[in-house]
Amino acid sequence: MRFLRDLELRGRRVFLRADLNVPLDRGRISDRTRIEATLPSLRFVLQRSGRLLIASHLGRPDGERRPELSLRPVAEDLAEALGVPAELAPDCIGETTERLVNALGPGQALVLENLRFHAEEEKNDPEFSKALASLADQYVNDAFGAAHRAHASTVGMARHFRERAAGFLLEREVSVLSDLLGAPAEPFVAVLGGAKVSDKLGVLQSLLGRVQVLCIGGAMAYTFLRAEGKPVGRSRVEADQVSLARETLREAEARGVRVVLPTDHLAAERPQAEAQARIVGADAFPENLLGVDIGPKTADAFRHEIEQARTVFWNGPMGIFEIEPFSRGTLAVADAMAACGGTTVVGGGDSVAALRRAGKLAAVSHVSTGGGASLEFLEGRELPGLRALEEEATEPMEKAR
């Protein structure tokens, strides 16, 4: 794989696929993490007098032009952050866009409108890939968060370029996550949470061969507790995953991995802020309540494991984190991650949001910008976006220099 620093960028039209799929709240960007993380690559191209085309998807417009999913707020943010105008092209392909690209001078930037306004993007349509590729001389993929998607801008386009590279963000994500799969310093502790066991089974399997300790919180813990025959009241259990959870626990034991499950919970009648919540022990979970967060004893146990670790990977909240009274367990994990002296890697939107809320974002070693992509990577799956960068350019479209 080639990297951005290997390209001769001067005067070249550089198509930079970023993942600027940022959360919006009434049209305003509510979390700039992905923008910040992409800036080094964008600045590098501009400083080396590349003619920069910035492309991304935003949300899931399903092939429709949805004004509320325009990249306009992102373009405005980028212009300010980069200190150069970053005009928004009305589309990502087409005559007007071509004109704007051709008018672009060295060191100037243009933002292409949401790629997913075209259904062909997600279909990895060859003609659409070609149309995108025809805009540029070079292709840079820095969209780690979308690298698990085989779309036109992440896969189909790549074959049209001899000059193509991974951006700095993608390079760093791959390097940090590869280290977790390689020979991470031990003890290696994984902390997994979130709603569904089914989303995490792949990564659980992969991590079992690597970690010494596995802490499981969030709603997925109830499926594991059920597998152990523990009462969980009305907590969310994935009935069809209970036997897999049981097998996972057996496998962990066979491999000598210590699994730390919640020993107490915050439980409430309803998953709502105004519902009365109380701490309950794992062996005495009332029938009428459901778990909304890990309890304080569990939070202490997780904290202890994290602080002793030399490598930690954390993905997923410990409770219904978006409801403030149910966020303590998740925030405790965020604090422990920040206090850990080892390598700390965090992936997934809620975990990252918790770190931010705790003011500890800068205190961890690496915050992955790809929730789904980082999990698939750690499962050991090949990400289509990475593979496309490594393959030969089978249909290069020669560009006059």
Q: Which two tokens stand for residue 312?
A: 């930690």
- Cβ proximity to ligand 3PG: between 56 and 212 the closer is 56
Angle between the N-to-C axes of helices 197-208 and 371-378, in degrees from 0 to 180, rounded to the nearest 10: 40
- Are 97 and 112 in contact by the 8 Å Cβ rule? The answer is yes
Query: How far is residue 235's CA from residue 268's CA, in Å, rounded to a whole number?
Result: 10
Bridging pattern class, strands 24-25 and 28-29: antiparallel
- 199 lies in the binding site for ligand 3PG (CB under 6 A): no
- 145 lies in the binding site for ligand 3PG (CB under 6 A): yes
The region, left, alpha or beta by phi > 0 then psi within -120 to 50, assigned to residue 283 is alpha
Residue nearest to ligand 3PG (CB): 21
Of the residues 202, 356, 372, 387, which is catalytic?
Answer: 372
- 17 lies in the binding site for ligand 3PG (CB under 6 A): no
| Least distance to ligand 3PG, CB of residue 242, Å | 27
Nearest to 74 by CA among 86, 62, 66: 86
- Are 53 and 47 in contact by the 8 Å Cβ rule? The answer is no
Q: Of residues 33-62, which lie at the interface with ligand 3PG (CB under 6 A)?
A: 60
- Cβ proximity to ligand 3PG: between 21 and 330 the closer is 21
| Least distance to ligand 3PG, CB of residue 358, Å | 22
Instruction: Please report how many Cα atoms fall inside a 13 Å half-sphere around the Cα of residue 377, on the Cβ side.
Output: 29
- 136 lies in the binding site for ligand 3PG (CB under 6 A): no
379: helix, strand or coil: coil
Cα separation of the two ends of the chain? 23
130 is catalytic: no
Bridging pattern class, strands 138-141 and 164-166: parallel
Of the residues 34, 116, 172, 360, which is catalytic?
Answer: 34
- 19 lies in the binding site for ligand 3PG (CB under 6 A): yes
Taking CB under 6 A as the criterion, the residue among 12, 13, 17, 149 binding ligand 3PG is 149
- Cβ proximity to ligand 3PG: between 290 and 375 the closer is 375
| Least distance to ligand 3PG, CB of residue 27, Å | 18
Count residues binding ligand 3PG (CB under 6 A): 8
| Least distance to ligand 3PG, CB of residue 371, Å | 5
- 171 lies in the binding site for ligand 3PG (CB under 6 A): no
372 is catalytic: yes
Angle between the N-to-C axes of helices 220-227 and 197-208, in degrees from 0 to 180, rounded to the nearest 10: 70
Query: How far is residue 3's CA from residue 5's CA, in Å, rounded to a whole number?
Result: 5
- 63 lies in the binding site for ligand 3PG (CB under 6 A): no
34 is catalytic: yes
| Least distance to ligand 3PG, CB of residue 280, Å | 34
202 is catalytic: no
C-alpha dist (Å) from residue 299 to 167, 181, 343: 37, 26, 20
Taking CB under 6 A as the criterion, the residue among 61, 371, 384, 385 binding ligand 3PG is 371
Q: What is Dmax (Cα atoms) for the chain?
A: 73
- 146 lies in the binding site for ligand 3PG (CB under 6 A): yes
Backbone angles phi, psi at 257, to 5 degrees: -90, 130
The residues that are catalytic are: 34, 196, 349, 372
Contact positions toward ligand 3PG, by CB under 6 A? 19, 21, 60, 145-146, 149, 371-372
